[in-house]
Amino acid sequence: MAVIGVLPTIFGLSTAWQAAGLGLLFPGAGFLVFGGWALLGIMISVIVFAVAFIAWFATGNVVAPVLAWLGAAAVAGGMASGHPQPAPRLGAMGMALVIVGVIAALAIVRRVLAIRRSARLRAERASYLPADLDALPRRLVPEDPAPRELDDTQLGHVKWLLSLGLQPVDQFDGFDIIEQFQPSALRYQINHAQYALAQVQRHYTPNFHGYLSEAQERLIEKLTVPKVWKYWRLERLWGRLSTNYDPAGFENIMLTGWSGICLNTYSTNTGSDRFVGPGSLEFSLGDPNKTYHHDAHSFNESLMWNFGRSPQTVFACEPNWTYSACNLYGLNSVASYDAAFGTRHLDALREPFLRGLREELMTPGGEIVPFRSDYTGISIPFGGDVMYFQAAGWIAPVYPDVARTLWAIACREVLDIHNGGLEAYLAKPFMLDSGNYRSTGMYARGVILLAAREFGDQQIADAAQRALDAYNEPVAQDGMRRYANGSTFANALVAQALLTRRGDWTRLIIEPAATSALSGPILQHVAFDQAMVAQAVSDGDDLRLVLKGNSLVPATNTSLQLARLRPKSRYEARIDGQCIAFTSDENGGATVAVRVGNRTVVTIAPTW
């Protein structure tokens, strides 16, 4: 571009051609032919280009910076066409080349300094990591396989999540609606709300479907509402100059990767084929030619095809922008698909994905690169501290050794726990809340809490929870609990963290559900406003429930609809010392009336 740009000046062409040519060297350079007031034209051009660059980064609009740059050159050329005599050609060209040279020199110096810093960081980490990794297990709590019961705090957050999921599919009360391109988008709020509810179903209530399954189904169906996914139409238009808007076609891992986890974990936990059959999800823009049918299988096929065709394995979210976080979600989606359907897709992906992650989205010193441009290779350092925690927690199911290394780095360099800096950092972490772009610190605290609980690092988890309670304004109303000083996205993330014990996320992603959860008796239905299910487990024959009613009402009468009992068999329901005998119908169903107080234990067992 520089060589072409200086040719009109070298050959003494008209002022218009000289201005247009110099405009190729950098945005606004063509205005140098006008002499004294060139600075104004350059400033305006640079500002316009900066806005276009932000649009390119934020929305994948690759056309915007090209138009801004070439548009400035065209404007300069057009304005110069009225000048009969060329401006002093060597002066304008020389100044443009000096500016380009300075920019290039600064870029080279910055790169050299970054390489040296990375080398120093690599050596420093090599000196402390072996000892820190050896010491880490002594700080972690052991895994506890015993059945669990949701406590009152957890139930409050779960009830808030259910209020998001149980509303009509086309309604978004309680969601943050700002824009649909970046982290505040509705799809990310939907995804993390479902992840949290999936963890409830896997680890606390595997033998309960009812409103818990219904809320997850509605959340997943919300992904097909045009206001949630039509951003992709614009990104395809101005990012790839294409009118094929298939949301699970080329790229778009920010939908297929994040949401694939929802489809797969729901299928794993419930055994339901709701999102498995061909075309079970319809993405439509109102035009039959722009209607796309997808399901759990097609989402996974899209991921594997995109991973396979990318030279780096990792692939783009927005057209030409590859994010490390989105690719980690995509990796977990493939792992969760294997767990749900008994396939081995992860085997082919494991080694090339890790190579791509290390070579493209990490520095030689081990720093996480949040995102990189596929066209130019440039990256913007932003939120790097939080990325250590996010990557450590999210990569744990597939690469546990890498996850522990990242966690050890974060504990020493960010949290500074060896020097007592934990509380100070949590008081003022990376403050930008990704879900609403306000300075709340809640997203960072939530990411740290989730990763700490996944690793079983109780000291850090407790400190993060204390910081959330101290700085993010917990509020409880109508049995629901959330944090007022934080976005819906961050609240869903924190709710998931509060439901997590060591290894929970890993088990949800890579392990199938227990046989007893898929074939044992289940609580099929109970009224949401009458009883919260705090536990629902089975050994394959029985069903143990812990129900909690409204604390403001002494007790509530409700009906429990049971399913997957032995057909036409006698059962006994033991409810707080009382016994009720009943017989299941020919389909293995039955209804039992109970009175639910603050905490009511119900045990259903066959009578032999």
**What is the tens place of the pLDDT at every residue in 480-502?**
999 999 999 999 999 999 999 99
Nearest to 132 by CA among 458, 420, 422, 409: 409
Q: Where do the structural domains in the chain lie, given as residue ranges?
A: 1-106, 140-510, 515-606
The tens digit of pLDDT for each residue in 301-329 reads 999 999 999 999 999 998 889 999 999 99
pLDDT on residue 436: 97
Token output for 126: 């090599």
pLDDT on residue 81: 79
Rounded-to-10 torsion of CA 522, 524, 526, 531:
30
The verdict on domain 140-510 having CATH code 3.30.9 is no
- Which phi-psi region, left, alpha or beta, contains residue 102 (left: φ > 0; alpha: ψ -120 to 50)? alpha
pLDDT on residue 553: 62
Helix (H) or strand (E) holding 452: helix 442-455
pLDDT on residue 13: 87
State the residue for tokens 């600075």: 39
Q: Give the whole-angstrom CA distance, residue 412 versus residue 425.
A: 12
State the residue for tokens 């007592």: 420
The tens digit of pLDDT for each residue in 518-562 reads 999 999 999 999 999 999 999 999 999 999 987 656 678 999 999
Residue type, 56: W
pTM (2 decimals)? 0.94
Q: Give the whole-angstrom CA distance, residue 132 versus residue 24.
A: 52
Q: Mean pLDDT in each 10-residue stretch from start to end of the chain (608 residues)?
A: 89 88 92 80 94 91 95 92 58 84 91 92 96 95 90 97 97 97 96 98 98 98 97 94 95 97 98 94 93 97 97 92 95 98 97 96 90 87 83 96 96 92 95 96 98 97 98 95 98 98 97 96 95 96 93 78 97 91 96 93 93
Neighbour-count burial for 339-350, b at 16+ CB within 10 Å, e otherwise:
bbbeeebbeebe
pLDDT on residue 551: 60
Q: What are phi and psi of 591, to 5 degrees?
A: -125, 130
pLDDT on residue 181: 94
The tens digit of pLDDT for each residue in 186-234 reads 999 999 999 999 999 999 999 999 999 999 999 999 999 999 999 999 9
Average pLDDT, the chain: 93
| Alpha-carbon 426 to chain mean position | 21
Length of the chain: 608
CATH number at 515-606 = 2.60.40
Q: What are phi and psi of 303, to 5 degrees?
A: -60, -50
